[in-house]
């Protein structure tokens, strides 16, 4: 275990002005707080925070960060309190330690929710001070280095969490060395056999290729020196996890990989980067499609470098990275290498110049949208994992997106309102589908329309967490609006039956009695069946007595949370709610057995919390609701809203077994411009087969025409419509 003086010496190596007294005080405080606690390895627990602090001294971080690392487990695992740390040290250190303390005693329904909530708190703390992230990553790195001491059943879960969250997060912050080590440690525990195999092959190949690597280093150094360029050339080999991932992604064997070894050319200034690139390309041919300039267009994690692949000595492919020394430091250590932050510069200036930190703040903006912990974790993983493409608005604004992103993602990256109102797009001046995969350099113009709502299906098609969250919210808002509209109509009729005046102002005055925050909340609750309409009338008019209040339905018997729905209209009344089909995100669906088509007389059945199911009036399934009149809704077709869409219907047929029978049935349906959605067949006797055919037809006339023609076919013994 590291001694007290050793910790001070490690900090003094890069910071001669360190506060030795405060460092010593932190060491002693944490040592006493952890006392006799032991880690799974049997080592004193206090050894862990010291190793975390040691990792951070290698990153040359300030006193407050090192002290926070020493103290980071005290609040969570000892009797220490935040108030005590603030008092003994200072609020700055206290805030860092608090940001690293996991949430305890939360009533969360799943480990995934707990993981999401802890990650939410961590990111909120990082948004206030990025040093929280540096300590957390160092903490995870040391835990992964000692994971073999944990119980075998826990290792996969911890490794998976590291691979899914912490390694990508380190990469997004530009800390490539830490990301690579976290990935390899996770890979070693998740796929031990693959890890051992690839590591052994790498070691064998390194021995065979040692002379070739040295030769390429020597040749590159000589070439650049001949052109007056002082450069440091370093050969390196890829990490086991990086190789395995490429083998999986491209479905290739280890022997087929041509870029296991790469070379880094480090020069003094920006001009020398492009001069070195010219020397290399004039000496060896470039491999097409393998040139990337991340200097002119940096990655979101502040990474800057030129990448190119050439066919070098011995016809070997040589992968090169060309960068300055300052770029190399940022590439290795990311935000931990940021000079502005180390110098204690104003945080606003740091944020404005650090693209990595800007990305982090944008990600944290998702928190304000009210997603639950699982959704937040899902969205953040989407943001962490993907490589990037860079696209432009017509005005030249650069938009960075994950690979595989579409114009829908682009629209939401510009602004949520742009995404919500998007109806089309132009890519490089040409009209294109909204689901087109974007490529580097595309100029994207979004075509918008007022009063547009994003289809719910977009949620499964987008690549960014921001777009997915926004679409989910818009869908919820649209459904809520529809429930509120339905509730308003239910209440209007309920007040009319009661002979009472109805207005939103009167309902607003009764909100405390209804335990709702707004009139829209009340109407949506009525529409969903959560509040009985008669209760709303009684809340507004306490002297009202409702003798029509329905009894508990058989389905809800014994369930305290059961809801009771007021019938929309009294017997004989002709008012109705228009039905607008299935394409408008309405809480309306058709009966699963047989459906309904325009021309049918229809009725709606309210399913509390789910919406309205539409049945044809002759459906036998309606008998099940005879004792629940409060769930019946008189509905009609809205001919203007139907438009060019088909509706579900089901036929039951008995056919003669002979060749071509099914073809004749299909031909009749096709001739009437209908569509077959599904067919089920069952042979009942050697001579006959029963068929159930699910169709999509235009209307009742269309359906009756199909039935009439089928009945005229010699091969059809019987055909009937199924109405449920």
657 within 8 A of 687, measured Cβ to Cβ: yes
pLDDT in tens, 292-308: 899 988 887 778 899 99
470 within a domain of the structure (yes/no): no
Q: What is the pLDDT of residue 475?
A: 82
Last residue in a domain, options 590, 610, 641 = 641
Same domain as 655, residue 618: no
Copy the structure tokens of residue 185.
């440690």
pLDDT in tens, 580-601: 433 344 467 788 888 888 888 8
- The boundaries of the domain holding residue 71 are 4-190
pLDDT in tens, 70-99: 999 998 888 899 899 999 999 989 988 887
Name beta bridge partners: 277.
Answer: none
- Which band of pLDDT confidence, cut at 50, 70 and 90, is reported for residue 502? confident
Last residue in a domain, options 437, 452, 467 = 452
Residue linked to tokens 């009340």: 522
Greater model confidence, 61 or 123? 61
State the catalytic residues. Answer: 76-77
Counted residue by residue, the chain has a size of 724
342 within a domain of the structure (yes/no): no
- Which band of pLDDT confidence, cut at 50, 70 and 90, is reported for residue 531? confident
550 within 8 A of 630, measured Cβ to Cβ: yes
Q: What is the pLDDT of residue 621?
A: 86
Q: What is the pLDDT of residue 89?
A: 92
Greater model confidence, 477 or 385? 477
- Which band of pLDDT confidence, cut at 50, 70 and 90, is reported for residue 688? confident
Does the pLDDT value for residue 700 go beyond 80?
A: yes
Copy the structure tokens of residue 83.
């108030």
Same domain as 561, residue 481: yes
Q: What is the pLDDT of residue 491?
A: 85
Same domain as 569, residue 597: yes
Q: What is the pLDDT of residue 21?
A: 92
Strands (E), 437-548: 444-448
- Number of separate domains in the chain: 5
Same domain as 428, residue 327: no
Query: 162-176, 380-394, 411-425, 690-704: which has the minimum mean pLDDT?
Result: 380-394
102 vs 115: CA distance, rounded Å: 10
Mean pLDDT of 30-36: 91
Q: Which residues contact 532 (CB under 8 A, 6 or more apart)?
A: 526, 549, 550, 563, 564, 565, 566
pLDDT in tens, 327-382: 888 887 777 765 444 444 444 444 445 666 666 666 555 544 545 555 555 555 54
Q: What is the pLDDT of residue 385?
A: 47
Last residue in a domain, options 641, 675, 696 = 641
pLDDT in tens, 611-655: 788 888 888 888 888 777 667 777 778 766 566 678 889 999 988
566 within 8 A of 487, measured Cβ to Cβ: no
Same domain as 687, residue 567: no
Same domain as 295, residue 204: yes
Does the pLDDT value for residue 446 go beyond 50?
A: yes
The angle at the Cα of 194, spanning 192 to 196, to the nearest 5 degrees, equals 65
Same domain as 393, residue 264: no
672 vs 656: CA distance, rounded Å: 22
Same domain as 656, residue 609: no
């Amino acid at each position: 275990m590291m001694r007290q003086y050793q910790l001070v010496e490690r900090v003094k190596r890069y910071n001669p002005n360190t506060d030795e007294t405060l460092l010593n005080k932190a060491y002693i405080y944490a040592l006493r707080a952890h006392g006799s606690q032991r880690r799974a390895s049997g080592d004193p627990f206090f050894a862990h925070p010291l190793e975390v602090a040691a990792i951070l001294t290698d990153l040359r971080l300030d006193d407050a960060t090192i002290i926070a690392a020493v103290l980071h487990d005290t609040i969570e695992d000892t009797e220490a309190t935040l108030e005590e740390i603030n008092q003994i040290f200072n609020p700055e250190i206290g805030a860092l330690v608090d940001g690293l303390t996991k949430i305890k005693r939360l009533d969360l329904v799943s480990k995934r929710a707990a993981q999401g909530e802890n990650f939410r708190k961590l990111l909120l703390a990082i948004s206030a001070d990025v040093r929280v992230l540096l300590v957390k990553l160092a903490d995870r790195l040391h835990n992964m280095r000692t994971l073999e001491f944990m119980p075998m059943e826990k290792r996969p879960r911890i490794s998976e969490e590291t691979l899914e969250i912490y390694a990508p997060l380190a990469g997004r912050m530009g800390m490539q060395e830490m990301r690579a080590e976290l990935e390899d440690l996770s890979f070693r525990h998740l796929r031990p056999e693959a890890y051992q195999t690839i590591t052994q092959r790498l070691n064998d190949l390194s021995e065979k290729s040692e002379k070739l690597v040295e030769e390429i280093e020597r040749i590159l150094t000589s070439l650049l020196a001949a052109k007056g360029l002082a450069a440091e050339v370093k050969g390196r080999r890829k990490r086991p996890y990086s190789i395995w991932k490429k083998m999986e992604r491209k479905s290739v064997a280890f022997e087929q990989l041509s870029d296991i070894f790469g070379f880094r050319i480090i020069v003094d200034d920006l001009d020398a980067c492009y001069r070195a690139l010219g020397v290399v390309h004039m000496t060896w041919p470039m491999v097409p499609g393998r040139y990337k300039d991340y200097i002119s267009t940096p990655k979101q994690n502040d990474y800057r470098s030129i990448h190119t692949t050439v066919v070098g000595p011995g016809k070997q492919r040589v992968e090169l990275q060309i960068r300055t020394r300052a770029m190399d430091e940022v590439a290795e250590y990311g935000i931990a290498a940021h000079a502005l932050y180390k110098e204690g510069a104003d945080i606003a200036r740091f944020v404005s110049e650090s693209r990595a930190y800007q990305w982090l703040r944008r990600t944290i903006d998702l928190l304000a949208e009210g997603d639950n912990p699982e959704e937040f974790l899902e969205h953040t993983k989407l943001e962490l994992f993907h490589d990037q493409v860079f696209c432009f608005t017509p005005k030249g604004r650069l938009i960075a997106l994950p690979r595989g992103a579409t114009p829908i993602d682009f629209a939401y990256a510009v602004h949520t309102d742009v995404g919500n109102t998007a109806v089309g797009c132009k890519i490089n001046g040409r009209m294109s589908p909204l689901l087109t995969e974007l490529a580097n350099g595309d100029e994207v113009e979004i075509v918008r329309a007022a009063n547009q709502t994003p289809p719910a299906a977009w949620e499964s098609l987008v690549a960014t967490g921001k777009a997915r969250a926004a679409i989910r919210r818009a869908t919820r808002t649209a459904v809520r609006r529809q429930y509120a509209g339905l509730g308003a109509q239910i209440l209007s009729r309920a007040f009319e039956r009661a002979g009472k005046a109805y207005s939103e102002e009167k309902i607003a005055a009764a909100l405390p009695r209804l335990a709702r925050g707004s009139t829209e909340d009340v109407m949506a609750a009525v529409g969903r069946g959560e509040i009985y309409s008669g209760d709303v009338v009684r809340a507004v008019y306490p002297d009202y007595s409702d003798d029509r209040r329905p009894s508990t339905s058989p389905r809800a018997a014994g369930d305290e949370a059961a809801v009771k729905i007021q019938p929309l209209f009294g017997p004989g009344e002709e008012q109705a709610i228009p039905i607008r089909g299935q394409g408008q995100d309405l809480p309306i669906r058709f009966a699963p057995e047989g459906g309904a088509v325009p021309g049918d007389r229809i009725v709606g059945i309210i399913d509390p919390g789910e919406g309205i199911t539409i049945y044809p009036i002759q459906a036998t399934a309606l008998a099940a609701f005879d004792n629940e009149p409060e769930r019946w809704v008189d509905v009609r077709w809205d001919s203007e809203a139907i438009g060019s869409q088909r509706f579900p219907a089901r036929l039951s047929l008995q056919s003669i077994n002979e060749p071509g029978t099914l073809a004749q049935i299909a031909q009749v349906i096709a001739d009437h411009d209908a569509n077959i959605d599904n067919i089920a067949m069952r042979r009942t006797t050697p001579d006959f087969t029963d068929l159930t055919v699910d169709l999509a037809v235009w209307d009742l006339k269309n359906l009756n025409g199909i039935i009439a023609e089928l009945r005229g076919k010699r091969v059809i013994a019987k055909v009937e419509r199924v109405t449920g």
